C-alpha cells in the first residue's frame, strides 16, 4: 500500500475509533462518587469521547462515499434489539438528566433488513442533538408507515429551526452551530437503503419539539 493511499488513512481512523470505543468503555467503569465535581467530569469525558467516535464514523462514511463504496451492508436485524440498544446508549449519555422513553408499536415486525452500523450512527446523532436541545424528554419510537419501518427520535425542544427544515427538504446545506453534517449524513444513510424500488427517507418536522424520522423500506 502506498503511503498516500487514502485507504491507509481510513484504516488509521478506524483504529482510532476502536481505541476510543475502548476508552469510552473504560470511562464507563469509573464508579460514581458522592462528589458532583467528580461525576460531572466523568460524564463530560464520556460525552466528549462519544462525540469524537461519532466524528470518526462520519470521516469513515465520507471515505466510503468518496470511494463509491456506499453500498450498505444490509442484513436482517432484530428491531427490538436495535431500539433497545439505542435507548440504552441514550440513557448512558444523558446520565439521568433527561427522561428516555421507548415505544415499539405492536405492528413492527421482529426483524427488518438494514445496515445496522449506519442506522445506529444516524440515530445516535439524532440523540446527541436531542441531548443538546431537549427540555426534559427524549422518545424513541418504532412504527410502521406505508409498509416501511419508521424509526423516530422525538424530543420536547424548541423544534428544528425553519431554515434547517427547508434545507433538509430541498437537499441544500444549512447554517448550524456545529458542523451541520449530522442531519445530512442521516439523509444520505436513509437514501442508501432501498428495497423493491423504494428508497429510504429522512423526514423532519416539529410537533411539540423536534421529530427526526428515518423511513426504511
Ligand X SMILES: Nc1ncnc2c1ncn2[C@@H]1O[C@H](COP(=O)(O)OP(=O)(O)OP(=O)(O)O)[C@@H](O)[C@H]1O
**Using CB under 6 A as the criterion, which residues of the chain lie in contact with ligand X when the complex forms?**
125, 129-130, 133, 155, 157-161, 164, 176-183, 210
Among 57, 79, 94, 129, binds Mg ion (CB under 5 A): 129
The option from Mg ion, ligand X, none interacting with 179 (CB < 5 to 8 A, set by class) reads: ligand X
Site membership for Mg ion, residue 182 (CB under 5 A):
yes
C-alpha dihedral sign at 9, 12, 18, 20? negative
Are 141 and 193 spatial neighbours (Cβ–Cβ below 8 Å)? Answer: no
Nearer to Mg ion, 50 or 129 (CB): 129
The option from Mg ion, ligand X, none interacting with 89 (CB < 5 to 8 A, set by class) reads: none
Chain center to CA of 33: 30
Smallest separation (angstroms) from Mg ion to the CB of 161: 13
**Whole-angstrom distance, CA of residue 39 vs CA of residue 130:** 21
Site membership for Mg ion, residue 79 (CB under 5 A):
no
With CA atoms as reference, report the closest residue to 128 among 57, 207, 215: 57
**SS3 label, residue 98:** coil
Site membership for Mg ion, residue 87 (CB under 5 A):
no
**Whole-angstrom distance, CA of residue 17 vs CA of residue 174:** 27
Cross-strand partners of 205: 211
**Grid coordinates belonging to 136:** 426534559
Smallest separation (angstroms) from ligand X to the CB of 182: 3
Residue 198: its H or E element: strand 198-199
The option from ligand X, Mg ion, none interacting with 157 (CB < 5 to 8 A, set by class) reads: ligand X
Smallest separation (angstroms) from ligand X to the CB of 91: 17
Smallest separation (angstroms) from Mg ion to the CB of 105: 26
Residues of the shown chain interacting with Mg ion in the complex, contacts defined by CB under 5 A: 129, 182
Amino acid at each position: 500500500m502506498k503511503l498516500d493511499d487514502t485507504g491507509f488513512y481510513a484504516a488509521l481512523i478506524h483504529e482510532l475509533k476502536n481505541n476510543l470505543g475502548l476508552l469510552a468503555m473504560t470511562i464507563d467503569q469509573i464508579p460514581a462518587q458522592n462528589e458532583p465535581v467528580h461525576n460531572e467530569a466523568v460524564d463530560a469525558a464520556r460525552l466528549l469521547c462519544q462525540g469524537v467516535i461519532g466524528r470518526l464514523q462520519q470521516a469513515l462514511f465520507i471515505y466510503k462515499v468518496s470511494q463509491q463504496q456506499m453500498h450498505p451492508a444490509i442484513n436482517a436485524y432484530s428491531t427490538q434489539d436495535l431500539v433497545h440498544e439505542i435507548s440504552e446508549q441514550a440513557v448512558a449519555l444523558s446520565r439521568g438528566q433527561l427522561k428516555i422513553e421507548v415505544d415499539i408499536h405492536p405492528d413492527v415486525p421482529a426483524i427488518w433488513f438494514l445496515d445496522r452500523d449506519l442506522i445506529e450512527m444516524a440515530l445516535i446523532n439524532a440523540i446527541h442533538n436531542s441531548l443538546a436541545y431537549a427540555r426534559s424528554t427524549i422518545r424513541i419510537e418504532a412504527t410502521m408507515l406505508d409498509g416501511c419501518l419508521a424509526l423516530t427520535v422525538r424530543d420536547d425542544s424548541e423544534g428544528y429551526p425553519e431554515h434547517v427544515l427547508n434545507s433538509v427538504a430541498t437537499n441544500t446545506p444549512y447554517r448550524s452551530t456545529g458542523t451541520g453534517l449530522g442531519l445530512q449524513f442521516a439523509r444520505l444513510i436513509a437514501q442508501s437503503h432501498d428495497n423493491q424500488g423504494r428508497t429510504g427517507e429522512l423526514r423532519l418536522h416539529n410537533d411539540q419539539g423536534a421529530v427526526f424520522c428515518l423511513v426504511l423500506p
